[in-house]
Amino acid sequence: MKMESEIIFGEMLNYFRKKNNLTMEELGEMMGKTKSAVSRWISGDNYPKVDDIEKLTKIFNTDVQTLVFGGNQSNKTNIQNLYDQLTPPRQRKVYTYAEHQLDEQNNTIHESSSIYLVGATAAGAPLEYSQLNAEQIQTEIPHGADYALTVKGDSMEPLIEDGQIIFYREQSTVENGEIAIVELNRNEVTCKKFYYNGEHVVLKSINDKYEDIVVKDDVRVIGKVII
């Protein structure tokens, strides 16, 4: 099984080779290697010796970190340093945002698919159903989404922005902490993080300036948001 570093190195080597307009044979001649040896480095089937890596950095005028890891280690260090400077509540926000970004990345996206935009949902004060109008739109759709909504308000920022189109899967239940489209008082709809403690429902915003909404009855989950 190929190591991740071998795969990254092969991709970076091929990137620099093409950037410098070199064929594998030409690069091999500069390195004192065969075309086959260069090809095996690029495919990840073989890995160069330390001396060869140093020679490659001189040919491409780059550093070992970038050539071998694509600069990822430096980026990870910078991200970690920024994260460590945040207060715990802000760290939780960053973690939640990153988690949703990973979910979005892992979802299958279909180009130019059709879905019903059924109106707007509040990310602030709940909207009445009278403000909802359905129309069919062409857009990229996350795997598993049934409908789309336009967000009005900033209570779910920075994850969900005012005016953003979000997608949801139609379902009547969600797990605690998941973002849901929720019906309130039988005539209002909102987008919040959903929690149920056995007695009442708590709808939480991501934006700290909004207070929790505590609901004991007249609440119904319409669907789970797919970021």
Q: Which of 16, 45, 51 is nearest to 32 (CA)?
A: 51
Catalytic residue, candidates 33, 93, 152, 192: 192
Partners of 196 in beta bridges: 201
Q: Is 112 a catalytic residue?
A: no
Instruction: Show Cβ contacts of residue 81 under 8 Å, excluding neighbours closer than 6 positions.
Output: none
Give burial (CB, 10 Å; 0-12/13-18/19+) of 5. Answer: middle
Q: How far apart are CA 132 and CA 118, in angstroms?
A: 6
Catalytic residue, candidates 33, 93, 155, 193: 155
Q: How far apart are CA 97 and CA 103, in angstroms?
A: 10
Query: How far are the Cα atoms of 10, 24, 49, 54, 66 from residue 3, in angstroms, in the given order?
Result: 11, 22, 15, 20, 17
Q: Is 155 a catalytic residue?
A: yes
Active site residues: 155, 192
